[in-house]
Chains A and B, each alone.
Chain A
Amino acid sequence: MSSKYTEHNVTAEQIMLVVLVGVSALFIVEPVLSNYPDDARVFPQLTASIVFVGSLLLLFRNYLPGPLRTFVAESISITSTDESDIPGSEADLEESETADEEYEAETLGAEYGYKVDETTFMVVTTILYFAGGWAAGFLFATPIYILGYTLWFRTSPVTSVLLAILGTFVIYLFMTYLVLPFDQGHIFDFSPLLPLLVEPITGGGV
């Protein structure tokens, strides 16, 4: 059974453009709703209007009339270096970069039959690291993040542990000498546990 509708996949670019449209709309409306004075209002509204119109044009570029679509969608460059004569020029490098994107790393997940895209894994773990650090303190989230990340990519366990210790030490160093509250989370407070963990190493010196 054929369908008259073409299948459309929502891309990350479209999501990003929707976010830009939403943010710019907010920056246009908020000064009006909150009665900003002219000196505080004109510049953000002007720039927001350009972002709003530009993002909408990009979002709906496939539905624009010919010349406008060309203007919106096509790449324009004033650099006229003809690299086509140069052996192995940047164009070739870009091709090889594309090839790199298809690379699949040996991961812990793959060993158990789970295929997770490396970039997705990186984005998700980065978000989890931030969320974990905010909730429970970066001092405690850092070793878990480093161990999790490196072990996933099949780094040797010894190297992973050494890196986790090094990363935690960096956080601890900044926390101690610059009095940054990396041991305190906004939801969980494990800071009372810190002396129990540190004293056996420092002998109660720090």
Chain B
Amino acid sequence: MLDALSEAISIILTGEPLLWLTVGILIGIFVGSLPGIGASLGMALILPLTLPLDGVNAIILLVSIYSGGMYGGSIAAILLNAPGTSAAAATTLDGYPLSRQGQAITALAMSAVASTLGGFITIVLLILISPFLVRMVLLFGSPQYFLIALLGIAMIAIVARGSLIRGVVSGMFGLLIATIGMAPMVPQQRFTFGDPALFDGISFVAALIGLFAIAEMINLAGEEGGVAQTDMEITGSIRSGISSVLTKPYLIAKSSLIGMGIGSVPGAGSTVSTFVSYAEALRSSDDPDSFGAGNHEGLIAAESANNATIPGSLIPTFSFGIPGSGSTAVLLGGLIMHGLQPGPNLFSSDLQITYAVFIALFLGNFVILFVGLTFISRMGVLTKIDTDIIIPMIVVLAVVGGFLLRINWIDVLTVFGLGIIGYYMKRYNYSVIAFVLGIVLGPIAEENFARSLTLSDGSLMIFVNDPLSLIIVIAIVALTIGPAIRGVFKKQLG
């Protein structure tokens, strides 16, 4: 472990990763601060442009956009009451009232410091628990990897609000789309209908761009264009913001752990973790009545949980290839695109890469702190950019990104086609994340499914005949059938 850690440090110290992490954080803060845009969209657009980069640098860039985006989301939440990302929704509750009270700078400073500390605590914790993760991941073989992919889809389908069937249909449709092209175990072209453009299948990166860029832009087009409706005067004190955070170490530690814990559950993500953290701060506060009216504890709880969710969400993403959110789905796409298979390798032969990403995240928090505190009074400019200007530019970048992948028109068609389908899925409460997960995990899931059946001579019993598989199968059944049975019972009992 220590060897890998020192190798990771030397990778980071080569300089190039530091450049990409700074670039990533800045892009992340920019896209995160634009309401309706967010980190996942920024990551999806940047993903094809990372092709010329080394795998480590590409992942560091993507994870830094993710981290910067999480912080950036709080800027519009505090200044405009319009969270840049859904994760920043809880930040509006006390952040915006503080701005209205003339403490916008105080609130932004609190947000920067609390985000940074939340990130610091949980990344150190993640590095400390990584040896245990390695042991856990090594227990998994082909049948378990297939089952864990199904478990991930089931969890996301359920955690996402909406009917279970909708979530399952979304996830399975993603898996279905991923089967187009060459079969993994035999040389057989499938569902290509003789068109050579489909021989390599549907690019999951194009799908990610479509689902996160085009679908989001269609959604955004129907919302109010001019973001900044009021000219908020940005006043307050950086010093009082910093001291307010530093005097509440217990709250920060507690909120960070909540963020990390919930972040590690696929599908739960930062939207849930920030609200849970906020609710816990409210419950344990001596002054619960002031929550919602500019309480510092409320803002600190939401913000420290927000960035702490990132290391948590990396646990299932790196260990099992199960992303917990849209951003981690794109990150998973980046890992696969750069030949880094999630799973045992990332915790054994490629452990130095994993640690390099963790260290980059750790250092990225310094950049967040520096940018957050240095440019604090100018942050309002970002929130004034009109979405009607952003939309066509993002559509153009999506076209370039899509075509750049393989110089294949099918990828541009995928960007537009899945973008439109993704919009309607979101509109009718079908889980887009489950759909994305299906597309990204499709080849891995099918390969492990086919390999398991080969090992068992075609018997499906391989998926239940060892304790670990059985536990996962029971978890899948309990997750999918359990809430439905509970709902029916509740209804019958009145």
Chain B residues near A39: list those with CB within 8 A: 183, 185-186, 188, 450, 454
Assuming the A-B contacts A163-B393, A174-B404, are A76 and B222 also in contact, with contact meaning beta carbons closer than 8 angstroms in the complex? no
Q: Which of A12-33 contact B (CB under 8 A)?
A: 12-13, 16, 20, 23-24, 26-27, 30-31
Contact with B along A123-134 (1 / 0, CB 8 A): 100110110011
Assuming the A-B contacts A47-B176, A71-B165, are A167 and B484 also in contact, with contact meaning beta carbons closer than 8 angstroms in the complex? no
Q: How many residues of B contact A (CB 8 A)?
A: 85
Chain A residues near B176: list those with CB within 8 A: 23-24, 27, 44, 47-48, 51
Q: Which of B2-10, B166-174, B346-354 contacts A (4 or more CB under 8 A)?
A: B166-174
Chain B residues near A31: list those with CB within 8 A: 190
* Most chain A CB within a 10 A radius of its CB, from B166, B392, B407, B488: B392
A122 touching B218, Cβ below 8 Å: yes
Task: Considering the complex, give the chain A residue whose CB is closest to the CB of B425.
Answer: A16
Bound Cα distance A22, B90 (Å): 41
Q: Which of A1-9, A82-90, A191-199 contacts B (4 or more CB under 8 A)?
A: A82-90
Contact of B400 among A24, A81, A130, A174 (CB under 8 A): A174
Q: Which of A144-187 contact B (CB under 8 A)?
A: 145-146, 149-150, 153, 155, 159, 163, 166-167, 170-171, 174, 178, 180-182, 186
| Closest CB in chain A relative to B88 CB, distance in Å | 11
Task: Considering the complex, give the chain B residue whose CB is closest to the CB of A148.
Answer: B392
How many interface contacts (CB-CB < 8 Å) are there between A and B? 236
A54 touching B172, Cβ below 8 Å: yes
Bound Cα distance A100, B35 (Å): 13
| Closest CB in chain B relative to A143 CB, distance in Å | 10
Chain B residues near A57: list those with CB within 8 A: 165
Q: Which of B246-254, B276-284, B361-369 contacts A (4 or more CB under 8 A)?
A: B276-284
Chain A residues near B479: list those with CB within 8 A: 78
Bound Cα distance A146, B390 (Å): 10
Q: Which of B134-186 contact A (CB under 8 A)?
A: 158-159, 161-166, 168-169, 172-173, 175-176, 179, 183, 185-186
Bound Cα distance A85, B413 (Å): 45
Bound Cα distance A43, B180 (Å): 11
Contact of A76 among B89, B225, B395, B483 (CB under 8 A): B483
Assuming the A-B contacts A51-B176, A117-B222, are A123 and B420 also in contact, with contact meaning beta carbons closer than 8 angstroms in the complex? yes
Chain A residues near B276: list those with CB within 8 A: 81
B221 part of interface (Cβ distance < 8 Å): yes
Chain B residues near A105: list those with CB within 8 A: 224-225, 388
Chain A residues near B484: list those with CB within 8 A: 70-71, 76
Bound Cα distance A86, B278 (Å): 8
Task: Considering the complex, give the chain A residue whose CB is closest to the CB of B387.
Answer: A153
Q: Which of A27-60 contact B (CB under 8 A)?
A: 27, 30-31, 36-40, 42-44, 47-48, 50-51, 54-55, 57-58
| Closest CB in chain A relative to B133 CB, distance in Å | 24
Bound Cα distance A70, B485 (Å): 10
| Closest CB in chain A relative to B222 CB, distance in Å | 4
A51 touching B173, Cβ below 8 Å: yes
Contact of B420 among A58, A117, A126, A174 (CB under 8 A): A126
Contact of B403 among A40, A51, A180 (CB under 8 A): A180
B175 touching A47, Cβ below 8 Å: yes
Contact with A along B207-249 (1 / 0, CB 8 A): 0000000100111011111000000000000000000000000
A202 part of interface (Cβ distance < 8 Å): no
Q: How large is the interface on A (under 10, 10 to 19, 20 to 34, 35 or more residues)?
A: 35 or more
Interface, chain B (partner A; CB < 8 A): 83, 86, 89-90, 92-93, 158-159, 161-166, 168-169, 172-173, 175-176, 179, 183, 185-186, 188, 190-191, 214, 217-219, 221-225, 268, 271-272, 275-276, 278-279, 282, 291-292, 386, 388-389, 391-393, 395-397, 399-400, 403-404, 407, 409, 412-413, 416, 419-421, 423-425, 427-429, 446, 449-450, 453-454, 458, 479, 483-484, 487-488, 491
* Cross-chain pairs A/B with CB under 8 angstroms, 9 sampled: A31-B190, A37-B188, A72-B163, A74-B163, A87-B291, A93-B89, A119-B423, A149-B388, A180-B407
- What 16 additional pairs, Cβ within 8 angstroms, besides A167-B392, A180-B407? A23-B176, A36-B190, A43-B179, A47-B175, A57-B165, A73-B163, A77-B483, A82-B279, A90-B275, A93-B89, A122-B218, A134-B409, A145-B392, A167-B396, A170-B397, A182-B403
Closest 6 A/B residue pairs (Cβ): A87-B292, A122-B221, A40-B183, A54-B169, A119-B222, A40-B188
Interface, chain A (partner B; CB < 8 A): 12-13, 16, 20, 23-24, 26-27, 30-31, 36-40, 42-44, 47-48, 50-51, 54-55, 57-58, 67, 70-79, 81-83, 85-90, 93, 97, 100-101, 103, 105, 117-119, 121-123, 126-127, 129-130, 133-134, 138, 142, 145-146, 149-150, 153, 155, 159, 163, 166-167, 170-171, 174, 178, 180-182, 186
